[in-house]
Amino acid sequence: MTTNATVTKWIEEMKALLNPDQVVWITGDEAQLEALREEAVKTGELEKLNEEKLPGCYLHRTRQNDVARVEDRTFICTSVKEDAGPTNNWCAPAEMYKKLYDIARGTYQGRTMYIIPFSMGPIGSPLAKAGIEVTDSIYVVLNMAIMTRVGTKVLEVLGDSNDWVRGLHAKCDVDPEKRYICQFPEDNTIISVNSAYGGNVLLGKKCFALRIASYQGWKEGWMAEHMLILGIENPQGEVKYIAAAFPSACGKTNLAMLIPPEYLRKKGYKVWTVGDDIAWMRIGADGRLYAINPENGFFGVAPGTNEKSNFNALASTKKNTIFTNVAHDLNDNTVWWEGLNKDLPQNAIDWKGNPWDPSKFDKADKSTCAAHPNSRFTAPAVNCPCISEEFDKGAGVPISAIVFGGRRAKLAPLVYQSKDWNNGVFVGAIMASETTAAAAGAVGVVRHDPMAMLPFCGYNMGDYFQHWLDMGAKLGDKAPKIFNVNWFRTDDEGNFIWPGFGDNMRVLNWIIDRCEGKAEASETAIGYIPQPEDIDLTDLDMDIETLKSILTVDKQAWVDYAADVTEYFKKFDRLPAELASQLESLKANLNK
Ligand code: GTP
Ligand code: SPV
Ligand code: MN
């Protein structure tokens, strides 16, 4: 497959370690992938769905103990502990290599070793990077073939270069006690053992495109962020691009594919999706910040996805899609999840593989759900009706605004703008959000999640903040404007106050207007807040008083939050002085 000595040497090492019965290189040819699908159906790893209703689609169920990322078992292994920083689990590389090799040794016996050459970013794009993942899971091969560009072409473009990421995945016996997801940023290496789920094993995604790439970006002067990228086309046909960072299961896929409210569609507004989860950003020749989506598909949350909430995501799943841990509707051999529609399937198998009893279904009790709350679809980006023409080009799109956001029932207003870049870095650094089912552990607990990168930053978060500040200094007056949004404020009964989804376009329009100097704002202690009448409520069942209630800054709540941030910042050994001074300014502003 390749004469690249760095590749062949590593593959020989992996073979010696893992002891596979067979070795198969993934070429990217459709015939090879089709044969693998058939094999997976034979062994029960995949179930083929209704070919008429869902052509080329499959269902997969993972082990019940293996349904989400495992942050407490995720490690950044740098030679110096402080380089991993206070927010990451750390282990010395030599010790961790030994532990993982001992776990993985010989476990491919009786299995096939699949070697997947993959590209993050369009193959050959100056912004793309190559990786090679070895795995003993057909499910991983087929998902990687959707989520990334795979095959022989990647090796051709790589040539003899050593600039590629090594990814070892071994299912082992899917033992949660021996599960480890480890990044070795100094060696461009990832090792994942004892899982067969999503972000733990599709090594191009969180492990490479965020943890390893954030480290590479730090060293090489670019950024790898947990951000969607979308383009907003105005009635004059001009497209402006926004990148937005929200924590896992906090609305990136939904925002990336939103359909504007009817009154805006009639005026000619359109939204184009460039990416729904990850952005790699570099300063271009004209001094502006350019972003590409390194992925080639969407690994999206299924529950809550329906024709109304996210038409484009649902449309993306209608062919050549792999569904993981959703319910199997036996009536017509299709899939179902909570929030797809109101017709509870009467003859379905739940995500655990048991017959599902719809009469016991209680929305409030997750244990009665047919689909796992973190069940997902893996859909090719080309299926998306609103995919941007820039998606596959590799040059990147110029970013006008960066938006941070989280899931906060209280405190954070619907939207506010930072005072400048450095203040915007502070806004990202003090982000917090309620935890979701995307990671193992409690759900609904507010935790600090700077820039939505807490689980994904591959180095010391203090250095990461400094890197953001440095990028701003380089960008100067060409820097994108930075905003914060919160779609998730609730009333006393726990209902969301803001309608969200497509109506978020009303907020994006204000953001773009601010970037172009077209909208007014009121200065507050935390930043610029829109004048309520500048958020267009046309056709919405919402009065201006309700809108005002989610646009105000509750001073006392922010004083309390500033105290909380003060405590939080204490854990950073390498907190940039600029952020400490931003915090002091916030406190002073709140006291005025
Ligand atoms: P990851 O793939 O885990 O990174 O998640 P994500 O950030 O792409 O989140 P996604 O768009 O899949 O949304 C997650 C959940 O939030 C789904 O259940 C959505 O229905 C819900 N959601 C998304 N946008 C909104 C919104 O504007 N308002 C409300 N209330 N819910 C939303
Ligand atoms: C996330 O958790 O942010 C995801 C899903 O996008 S996973 O690929 O499992 O990380
Ligand atoms: Mn994500």
| Per-position b or e across 20-49, b if 16+ CB within 10 A of its CB | beeebbbbbeeeebeebbeebeeeebbbeb
- Position in ligand 1 atom list of the atom nearest CA 305: 20
Q: Give the 3-state secondary structure of residue 390.
A: coil
Ligand 2: does its nearest atom lie under 6 Å from the Cβ of 117? no
Is the pLDDT at 105 greater than 90? The verdict is: yes
Ligand 2: does its nearest atom lie under 6 Å from the Cβ of 247? no
Query: What are the sequence ranges of the domains in the chain?
Result: 5-45+70-221, 225-297+389-591, 298-379
Rounded to the nearest angstrom, the distance between the alpha carbon of 138 and the centre of ligand 2 is 20
- Position in ligand 1 atom list of the atom nearest CA 247: 7
Residues 207, 250, 384, 386: which is the catalytic one?
250
Q: Residue 551: what pLDDT?
A: 97
Structural tokens at position 134: 């070895």
Q: Residue 371: what pLDDT?
A: 98
Structural tokens at position 241: 């691009």
- pLDDT tens, position by position, 448-476: 999 999 999 999 999 999 999 999 999 99
Rounded to the nearest angstrom, the distance between the alpha carbon of 300 and the centre of ligand 2 is 8
The topology (CATH level 3) of 225-297+389-591 is: Phosphoenolpyruvate Carboxykinase; domain 3 (3.90.228)
- Position in ligand 1 atom list of the atom nearest CA 436: 3
Q: Three-state SS string across 120-143, please?
A: ECCCCCCCCEEEEEEECCHHHHHH
Ligand 2: does its nearest atom lie under 6 Å from the Cβ of 198? yes
Q: At what angle do helices 555-569 and 577-591 cross, to 10 degrees?
A: 160
Ligand 2: does its nearest atom lie under 6 Å from the Cβ of 199? yes
CATH homologous superfamily for 298-379? Phosphoenolpyruvate Carboxykinase, domain 2 (2.170.8.10)
Q: Give the separation between CA 132 and CA 144, rounded to whole angstroms.
A: 11
Q: Residue 1: what pLDDT?
A: 85
With the most atoms of ligand 1 within 8 angstroms of its CB, the residue from 301, 307, 308, 505 to mutate is: 301
Residue owning tokens 């995604």: 205
Mean pLDDT of 293-308: 97
Mean pLDDT of 264-272: 98
Rounded to the nearest angstrom, the distance between the alpha carbon of 56 and the centre of ligand 1 is 26
Please, are residues 456 and 211 in contact by the beta-carbon 8 Å criterion?
yes
Ligand 2: does its nearest atom lie under 6 Å from the Cβ of 252? no
Q: Give the separation between CA 558 and CA 561, rounded to whole angstroms.
A: 5
Q: Give the separation between CA 130 and CA 134, rounded to whole angstroms.
A: 14
Q: Residue 364: what pLDDT?
A: 84
Ligand 2: does its nearest atom lie under 6 Å from the Cβ of 462? no
Mean pLDDT of the chain: 97
Is the pLDDT at 44 greater than 90? The verdict is: yes
Please, are residues 502 and 386 in contact by the beta-carbon 8 Å criterion?
no
Rounded to the nearest angstrom, the distance between the alpha carbon of 153 and the centre of ligand 1 is 35
CATH homologous superfamily for 5-45+70-221? Phosphoenolpyruvate Carboxykinase, domain 1 (3.40.449.10)
DSSP state of 480: P
Beta bridge pairs of residue 399: 241
Told to judge if 250 belongs to the known catalytic residues of this protein, a careful annotator would answer: yes
- pLDDT tens, position by position, 216-248: 999 999 999 999 999 999 999 999 999 999 999
Q: Residue 113: what pLDDT?
A: 98
Q: Residue 363: what pLDDT?
A: 82
Q: Residue 124: what pLDDT?
A: 85
Which residues contact residue 299 at a Cβ distance below 8 angstroms, ignoring those fewer than 6 apart? 143, 147, 198, 199, 202, 205, 277, 376, 377, 378
